[in-house]
Amino acid sequence: MKFILAEKKEMTQKFEENGTVIPVTKVIANPCVVTQLKDIKKDGYTAVQIGFGSKRNLSKSVKGHLKNLGNFRYLKEFKISDEDAKKLAVGNKITVNIFQSGDKVKVSGTSKGKGFQGVVKRHGFHGSLASHGHKDQLRMPGSIGATGPAHVFKGKKMPGQMGNSQVTVTNLEIVEIDSDKNEIFIKGAVPGARNNLLLISGVGDLVIEEEKSVDDSGNRQETTTENEDKDTKDSVEAKKSPEVESSKKEDEPIKDSVEKQETTEVKAEEKKPEAKIEASK
């Protein structure tokens, strides 16, 4: 399961190659940071908590919970499998690159609040007739039940608060993804007003990408250090080479003198016994 938090922006259009117009909703999905991992042993279920958005002031308890990961406006949980939990760690970033064009996703959000509304607007009642004998009954709900039960059954459609509730739309298609601007274009309409929070989830493997900037800089640093090491080795060898050659040159005459001394001593020793023999004669 792959998921991300996003912010609804506006509706627009996309065009296919054959000129077909596709109505889409543009959402901004900035990178989400993993703030907490929950497991069965400690929490009773496996889930991940991610942070999205920014906020200026946070309470001390929330700051202690986030541990300098950032000042997030929203913290939401997604239930995941044990395999996906092993791939995640606190501090990982989830980006729009986990989705691809053509993916089917489920979008959840808070619908627009419309206040207290009657049955015609809230439930789509047609109302009563507007002819004689129906005074002030045009938009009335009508009978709400028989007198026998002596109470109104649960779930009866009546006037009340409309909107401002969580709505989930399934089987929506992702038309296009702009990873540079962190934008996702979803076919059709999604619940909520502009700048509202959306929870986008779909079927697939959750792939966490490493930060390219850090890797590139690290590689560059490594390459520079390797080059520096090579340069230092070459310079050291270059410095050593003239010294070695000079030392060799200095050692050559010394060796020659030593060899001459040894040869003269050997000759002198050879002559001594001959002299002794002649003296004995």
pTM: 0.69
Q: Work out the pLDDT band at 255, boundaries 50, 70, 90.
A: low
Q: How confident is the model at residue 251 (pLDDT cuts 50, 70, 90)?
A: low
Residue 247: its pLDDT value, please?
Answer: 53
At position 47, the amino acid (one-letter code) is: A
Q: Tell me the average pLDDT of the chain.
A: 82
CA distance 184 to 201: 13
The Cα–Cα gap between 51 and 210 comes to 18
Give residue-wise pLDDT tens across range 261-281.
Answer: 666 655 555 555 554 444 544
Q: Which residue has the higher pLDDT, 74 or 228?
A: 74
The label of the residue with tokens 């016994």 reads: 273
CB 94 within 8 A of CB 50: yes
- The 3-state DSSP class for residue 51 equals strand
Type and span of the H or E element at 40: helix 40-43
Q: What is the reported pLDDT for 237? A: 56
Q: What share of the chain is helix, strand, coil (3-state, %, to 5)?
A: 35, 30, 40
Mean pLDDT of 38-49: 93
* pLDDT value of position 259: 60
Q: How confident is the model at residue 213 (pLDDT cuts 50, 70, 90)?
A: very low
Q: What is the mean pLDDT of residues 115-139?
A: 93
Q: What would the pLDDT profile of 142-163 be if each residue is shown by its tens digit?
A: 999 999 999 999 999 999 999 9
Q: How high is the pLDDT of residue 228?
A: 45
